[in-house]
Every structure is written in structure tokens, then in C-alpha cells.
Chains A and B, each alone.
Chain A
Amino acid sequence: MSARTPRTVVTGIGVATPNGLGVDDFWAATRIGKNAIGRITRFDPSQYPATLAGEIQGFVAEDHLPNRLIPQTDRMTRLALVAADCAFEDAGVRPGDIPEFDMGVVTASTSGGFEFGQNELKKLWSQGSQYVSAYQSFAWFYAVNSGQISIRNGMRGPSGVVVSDQAGGLDAVAQARRQIRKGSKLIFSGGFDASICPWGWVAQLANGRLSTRTEPERAYLPFDADACGYVPGEGGALLILEDAEAARRRGARNVYGEISGYGATFDPKPGSGREPGLRRAIELALADADVAPGQIDVVFADAAGTPGLDREEAEAVTAVFGAGRVPVTAPKTMIGRLYSGAAPVDVVAAVLSMREGLIPPTTNVTLSPEYDIDLVTGQPRTASVRTALVLARGYGGFNSAVVVGAVD
């Protein structure tokens, strides 16, 4: 990497998860392992095989957004718009401070505004085509969050949207870093999903990986001998990423960390007998960050929660780092899997771990003796964290890894 390549730093955070709205609440809950998985309240789940989710309680969009935005937005967009406002405030920068063409938005999405789509599909089929909302032309599609955030904040520079299921949250961060390397000064990146509605639930059930347990503490147990699937959640995070030099010049008050490495791979076709791609994604990310395995202080795992996928991940981590050589954690056991929002939330947890010198725990899990990893369970662990690795995988075979480094 040439000396002229701009470095990409995180200077602002907006986060909304089932265990915390805003960065302070999120971290206060996460550092002590506060669980937020419960029986679905958004609709009556009793007729479905899975009944638990990580829902965000107490979010009232009308308290934060202008009235005109409410009828044209899905829940995931409202969460994202509010998170964007919080991130700007956190970064101490106002939209007008930076030239419009130097700012952009790169987000990930998994299922778009699925609840909005559900409601319009219902009108279409029960009432007729003329009852479908004009806002259906954009409120549900995958690009909506990037579009709405750019409009609300006057950001006219290079932007984008990626969809790679849960891996997309990291792919968006990587694409944002590419734009900063090409000259953008500030990019919003991250992802939000919120598809806890009957139609979304049926679609998620179809993948066969949802936990059908009814006890919240026994439902999502990655790396446990009792692993039985995952619990979906809603929410996500947005990061303000800046060219490190530009951030320094403007006197950014928070420089949480640097996005220093990235790697992405795709698994071989099922049945091919070839090795899955996760190990390679990790190695690519480490090489990109120019760090050795021994320099990684913590791994935020993808933590699929199904035995086969857990084994693949444990094997990849062990292959790269050696047995039990690096602390591994999965705070998403508190909130469920947030799809495109999950990995950006883990990046937030990673930079906050660095700041506090504390690794948040994987809750509810007892490590299966089958896996040779040092999983941080039960209590948070005090540790000096200078460099963290965040992993994310998407349904079908997507593998992404990001290295986050401390900035002095």
C-alpha cells in the first residue's frame, strides 16, 4: 500500500439494536451481556414454528423524523435515518460542513422494506391494484436507505448498495473504504434490516435455520453442543467513515478506530468437497491489513448457531490462529442475527471494546468441547484490544472479514 493511500477511520456511530438505542445504551447493555431476545410482540407468532426474535422496543419514529417521512418509509428506513442523525451528532460534523460531492452513502440490505411490501401486497390482492401506495415504488426496495439518507443529509458523492445477506454489512464498509481511497471525504456505511412481520417471518422460516425453542436463553446457542438454529433480530448500525487526514484536519472529536483490512470469498458449490471460503476471507483481510494472526486481539464471530456452520467457523479460526489462541466472542447472542445490520453492529462493538479494554461476552452459551476456540462466555473479559477481526457470512456461501485497528 503506497503512503498516499488514505486511511479510513470511524468517526461517528449510530446504532439501534434490541438491547440499545444509541451508542451509550447499546454499549451499556452489551458490555454486561444484557439479553433482548423474547417472544414476538409485533404480531401473534403462535401459529409459527419459531416464536422468538430480537425486537427493538420503544422506538417511536415520529419523535425523531418529520411527519412527511412516516408514510413513505419502512421501519428499517426509519431506524436508519435516525441512526444517521445520531452518527452525525456523534461525529461532531454537520452535513453542510463538507462539500456535497465529497460525501456519500454505501449501505447493505438483506430484504429491503419487507413489511412495507407486505402491506402493499395485501392491498393489491385483497382490494385491487388501484389501492397500492405510490410509495411502494421505492419504500421497499434495497436502495431506499442509501437514497433517503443521501437526500436528508445532502450527500451527492459516490454511493451504493450491496446485498449479500448477512455478509453485506461488511461488504458495504469495504466499498465505503474504496470510495474514501478514491477521494471521498466522508461516507456513511452500515446496514439495517427489520423484517419481523408475518410475511417476513414465513420467508425467514423457509431457510430451515431458525430456532424453534421457546426459552429466550436456550434458543440461540452458537458453538454450544446444544446449538439449534438462530433467532432473527432487527436493527443495525451506521458508521461515519472518513479519510483519516480529513478527520484530523477538522479536529474530529471521536476517532474510534480504523478499517484496516478486508477480505471476501464465496463458498464452493455445495457437494463439491472443496474447502469453504471463510478461512481464505480471514487470511485476505489480515494480509490486507498487514497484520499477523498473533496481532489480532479478538474475533467477533459470525456465530450462525447451526452445528455445521459453527464447525466451519471454528475450524477456520483455528486454522488461522491456532487452537484457543485468540479470544472469540459473539455478542449477537443477546439480540439475535440482524442480517445486514449484524456485522456493522459488531464493528461498533469492536471499536468500543478497544476503547474500554473489555470484550463483551457470548451470552447463554457453554462452549462445546468439539471446538478448539477460546470463546468469551458468561462474563465480559478485560483485555487490551488493539486490533479486532469481525466475521460475517451470508446464506448461500458469502464470507466477509474486516480488520479494525486502534488509532493512537
Chain B
Amino acid sequence: MERRVVITGIGVLAPGGVGTKNFWSLLSEGRTATRGITFFDPSSFRSQVAAEADFDPELHGLGPQEIRRMDRAAQFGVVTAREALADSGLDLAGFDPHRTGVTIGSAVGATMGLDDEYRVVSDGGRLDLVDYAYAPRHLYNHFVPSSFSAEVAWAVGAEGPNTVVSTGCTSGLDSVGHAVELIREGSTDVMIAGATDTPISPITMACFDAIKATTPRNDDPEHASRPFDGTRNGFVLGEGSAVFVLEELSAARRRGAHIYAEIAGYASRCNAFHMTGLRPDGREMAEAIRVALDEARMNPEDIDYINAHGSGTKQNDRHETAAFKLSLGEHAYRTPVSSIKSMVGHSLGAIGSIEIAASVLAMENNVVPPTANLHTPDPECDLDYVPLTAREHTTEAVLTVGSGFGGFQSAMVLARPERSAA
């Protein structure tokens, strides 16, 4: 008997508001959460815009010691894991810790903490032999981002398989995909799975400046993230986290859980081409989509909505438009496609999970979130990108994709459990 995996709890922390409710309000109203950087003085940078989250860890139940030892990304992960668990209604006493695992995606780990601490131990970059006396005890937690999934496990009491998945900007999809495999194969019954990244720090902004990947639209930060728009010129860095409770379908039904969606198919491929470049034909992403659909036993026509990677670089937007056409054929032209990065920015390894949340909420509400700031069509991007305003749309199955540095291309199919193969 094949084990099917469903989402029964959601926790989201995204720019524009902590919590799933705030997140969906932002998306469904088409508001943007991008702004001029406030975390540090950005004046020497080419790109000075980011999607920052306003987050007070104490307000969200973290104690002083937790706050001290955890990087911001770990804090986000713990807060969203707790929200997801509460949302699932799964009682801590009601699951077997040995059969409960954790996977957390993150592309750049504790970048923020590492940047801060390096500045201190090197005394502003002066010391080659950095000063041990100024290193905090929790620095090892920043050195190894598996501290994130350890913190989540402690927060929820999980003692099954545990890992961080770090495949760059597809980490948020691959982490959940990995968790699904663990439940399907029988290694676990419950997974706390998702992703977190908080990359808005000087070192990250500097390296994206160097390759001109981020937008220099500094005079108009609220409208700076413009996926699929003809005037786009780079992505807007963001931060955030989304974590889910995943369960085996029959167990979830037995306990009467609210089932948001089934993770019906997932696949990942590599472009074996370039660490930051994409082949224009989109073939690897198309292959991932094809295999994910196959696993879900669905045809292209079954997909009601595509949650795009839509980072807002010309290269990406054309690459994935090609991939959708290659994998879905004519149906690509009939399917709404949108990028929530237009509103919440690109939070690297976290965004894949945040986009899973958006996809699930689109099904839950039968509303497709828009691509904000899309005013000027790009003739090479000729699909229906749902410009500016959300759209009521019966949504029973969603395709969500990710694409990232290192060449990773991932695709996931989410569906109402009664809709996907019985």
C-alpha cells in the first residue's frame, strides 16, 4: 500500500508580517513588502533594497538564551515550526518522537551571525589571525547550519531522522521533497519540514552586487521586485521561513486533521551547465516538472495554477517560461502563473517553502496570488502572469518550481487529496 503524504499544519514568517494569516493577507491584496534596507547602512552598495521582516523574537516566545545562541534564521525556523505544529492540532504527546523527523532547508545558513561575528573577531577586518577571545560560545552553531534543524527538533520533541538540506535556492522545495520521501519509504510517520534563510547582511548584498544579480532600483523600493516585467533588472533579496507538518494520509484522516494538500509529486534535476547561469531552453526544469507530474499521476491539463520561481532576473524569467511551455505544452498558455517574489522578495533557501505555503493557501482559498508590479509585458514572457491583482480561480492542483545557483531545478505538485490519484 503506497503511503501518501499530506500537509496538516503551516507556519509562515515572511516580510510583511509574522504568521500565515498576515502572509496570505499581503499576497491576496497584492501588497509588497520590499523597502530600503534598514538592517545596516546600505549607502555603499549598488543594490539598497530588500524585503525585511519585522520580527521580535521575544514576542514569539523565544527565551533570552535561545535568542543568544540562535542565528536569526534559526529563530525564524523555530517560530514557524511551532506555528505549524499548533496549526496541525497534533498534540506533542500524540506522536511518537522516534517516528517524527525534521528537515530544514537553508541556502546560506547563519550568514547574518557569521558576518557579525567575523567583524568583531577580526576587529573590522584588520586581524588575519582573528581573535579567539571575542568569539562567542554559540559561534559553532553558526559554523554548521545543522544547528537550525537541531533547534527545531528540540522545539517540537522530534527524535527521528534530522538534517538540513542545502541546495541553494531550491532548498525550500528540496527539504520538503526529502521529507516526503522519508514518510513514503516508512522511515517516519510525521515530518516537521520547511526552510529558513535570513541573508540580508552586508556580505550577501556585496556578492550579489558583484554579479549584478540584485536590482539597483533604489529610488522605488516598494516596486523594485518586478518578475516578468519588461523593466525588471534583478531580484530583491528577502528573508523568511515556512515550516509544515507532514503526515501520512490515512493517519491524518484517522485523527480528523485538517488536510491542506497532498504533496503528490516532486523531482529535482541539475543543469550541469554553470554555477549561476541557466541554459535558455529550460530543459532540466521541464524534466523535473515532467517527472513530478508523472509521480503525481497527473497530466499537464490537471494543473490549475503555477507558482513560478519568478525571481525577476531576465535570465530566470525567460528560462522558466520556456520550461513551462516545454513541459506543459499548450496548457502553459491557459494556466495562471505568478511570482510572489514580487511581494516578499527572494529569500534564497527559504522561498521554496514559502511558495509551497502560498500554493496551498491558493488552493485553500481558490484565489491565485498576483505578480505585483507587472505593468510592462516582456514579449519573450508571453504567459498569463496574473498582473497586479489576485484572481478568484478554482485551484485543485498547483505546480510550484524553484531554480538556483549550482544548477539545481526542482518542481513539486500539490493537490487536494481527493483530487489527486486515489
Q: When A and B form their complex, what is the total count of cross-chain residue pairs whose Cβ atoms lie within 8 Å?
A: 267
Asked if B203 and A120 make an inter-chain contact with CB atoms under 8 angstroms apart, the answer reads yes
Asked if B267 and A396 make an inter-chain contact with CB atoms under 8 angstroms apart, the answer reads no
Asked if A160 and B162 make an inter-chain contact with CB atoms under 8 angstroms apart, the answer reads no
Asked if A265 and B268 make an inter-chain contact with CB atoms under 8 angstroms apart, the answer reads no
Asked if A144 and B206 make an inter-chain contact with CB atoms under 8 angstroms apart, the answer reads no
Task: Tell me if B57 is interfacial: C-beta within 8 Å of chain A.
Answer: no
Given contacts A110-B144, A269-B157, contact A150 B407 (CB under 8 A): yes
Given contacts A100-B272, A132-B203, A151-B275, contact A199 B121 (CB under 8 A): yes
Main secondary structure of the interface of A (DSSP, over half): mixed
Asked if A398 and B146 make an inter-chain contact with CB atoms under 8 angstroms apart, the answer reads yes
Nearest residue, chain B, Cβ from A158: B268
B393 nearest CB across to chain A (Å): 32
Chain A residues lying within 8 Å of B273, measured Cβ to Cβ, are 151
What's the tally of chain B residues with a CB closer than 8 Å to chain A?
Answer: 85
CA of A206 to CA of B135 in the docked complex: distance in angstroms?
7
Asked if B162 and A202 make an inter-chain contact with CB atoms under 8 angstroms apart, the answer reads no
Task: Tell me if B90 is interfacial: C-beta within 8 Å of chain A.
Answer: no
CA of A168 to CA of B107 in the docked complex: distance in angstroms?
16
Given contacts A49-B132, A126-B125, A266-B160, contact A147 B275 (CB under 8 A): yes
Asked if A138 and B210 make an inter-chain contact with CB atoms under 8 angstroms apart, the answer reads no
CA of A151 to CA of B405 in the docked complex: distance in angstroms?
12
CA of A270 to CA of B371 in the docked complex: distance in angstroms?
45
Task: Tell me if B58 is interfacial: C-beta within 8 Å of chain A.
Answer: no
Asked if B269 and A158 make an inter-chain contact with CB atoms under 8 angstroms apart, the answer reads yes
B171 nearest CB across to chain A (Å): 8
Chain A residues lying within 8 Å of B87, measured Cβ to Cβ, are none
Task: Tell me if B313 is interfacial: C-beta within 8 Å of chain A.
Answer: no
B232 nearest CB across to chain A (Å): 19
Task: Tell me if B211 is interfacial: C-beta within 8 Å of chain A.
Answer: yes
Asked if B124 and A126 make an inter-chain contact with CB atoms under 8 angstroms apart, the answer reads yes
Task: Tell me if A153 is interfacial: C-beta within 8 Å of chain B.
Answer: yes
A104 nearest CB across to chain B (Å): 7
One digit per residue, 1 when the CB lies within 8 angstroms of any chain B CB and 0 when it does not, for chain A 206-224 equals: 1110000000000000000
Chain A residues lying within 8 Å of B106, measured Cβ to Cβ, are 163
Chain B residues lying within 8 Å of A44, measured Cβ to Cβ, are 129
Nearest residue, chain A, Cβ from B404: A143
Contact of B150 among A48, A144, A157, A398 (CB under 8 A): A398
What's the tally of chain A residues with a CB closer than 8 Å to chain B?
Answer: 85
Asked if A125 and B119 make an inter-chain contact with CB atoms under 8 angstroms apart, the answer reads yes
Task: Tell me if A237 is interfacial: C-beta within 8 Å of chain B.
Answer: no
Asked if B159 and A104 make an inter-chain contact with CB atoms under 8 angstroms apart, the answer reads no
One digit per residue, 1 when the CB lies within 8 angstroms of any chain A CB and 0 when it does not, for chain B 303-319 equals: 00000000000000000
Chain A, range 117-154, C-beta contacts under 8 Å to B = 117-118, 120-130, 132-134, 136-138, 141-144, 146-148, 150-151, 153-154
A305 nearest CB across to chain B (Å): 16
Chain B, range 182-211, C-beta contacts under 8 Å to A = 185, 187, 202-203, 205-211
Asked if B206 and A136 make an inter-chain contact with CB atoms under 8 angstroms apart, the answer reads yes
Asked if A267 and B159 make an inter-chain contact with CB atoms under 8 angstroms apart, the answer reads yes
One digit per residue, 1 when the CB lies within 8 angstroms of any chain A CB and 0 when it does not, for chain B 256-295 equals: 0000000000011111111110000000100100000000
Chain B, range 75-120, C-beta contacts under 8 Å to A = 97-98, 101-102, 106-109, 114-115, 118-119
Asked if B406 and A265 make an inter-chain contact with CB atoms under 8 angstroms apart, the answer reads no
Task: Tell me if B352 is interfacial: C-beta within 8 Å of chain A.
Answer: no
Asked if B118 and A142 make an inter-chain contact with CB atoms under 8 angstroms apart, the answer reads no
Asked if A147 and B407 make an inter-chain contact with CB atoms under 8 angstroms apart, the answer reads yes
CA of A133 to CA of B207 in the docked complex: distance in angstroms?
6
Asked if B408 and A143 make an inter-chain contact with CB atoms under 8 angstroms apart, the answer reads yes
Nearest residue, chain B, Cβ from A147: B406
Asked if B167 and A160 make an inter-chain contact with CB atoms under 8 angstroms apart, the answer reads yes
Asked if A146 and B203 make an inter-chain contact with CB atoms under 8 angstroms apart, the answer reads no
CA of A171 to CA of B161 in the docked complex: distance in angstroms?
9
B162 nearest CB across to chain A (Å): 4
Chain A, range 61-115, C-beta contacts under 8 Å to B = 72, 100-101, 104-105, 109-112, 114
Asked if A160 and B272 make an inter-chain contact with CB atoms under 8 angstroms apart, the answer reads no
Contact of A114 among B140, B143, B154, B269 (CB under 8 A): B143
CA of A121 to CA of B128 in the docked complex: distance in angstroms?
11
Task: Tell me if B381 is interfacial: C-beta within 8 Å of chain A.
Answer: no
Binding site for A on B (CB under 8 A): 44-45, 97-98, 101-102, 106-109, 114-115, 118-119, 121-122, 124-126, 128-132, 135-140, 142-147, 149-150, 153-154, 157-168, 171, 174, 178, 181, 185, 187, 202-203, 205-211, 213, 267-276, 284, 287, 404-408
Query: Can you list 15 A-B pairs with a CB-CB distance of less than 8 A?
Result: A111-B144, A118-B118, A137-B208, A137-B211, A143-B168, A160-B174, A161-B165, A163-B164, A175-B178, A264-B160, A266-B158, A266-B160, A395-B146, A396-B150, A398-B162
Known pairs A130-B209, A146-B167; list 12 more (Cβ under 8 Å).
Answer: A124-B202, A124-B206, A127-B125, A136-B203, A142-B109, A143-B171, A154-B272, A163-B144, A165-B146, A264-B187, A266-B159, A266-B160
Binding site for B on A (CB under 8 A): 43-44, 47-49, 72, 100-101, 104-105, 109-112, 114, 117-118, 120-130, 132-134, 136-138, 141-144, 146-148, 150-151, 153-165, 168, 171, 175, 178, 195, 198-200, 202-208, 264-269, 274, 277, 280, 394-398
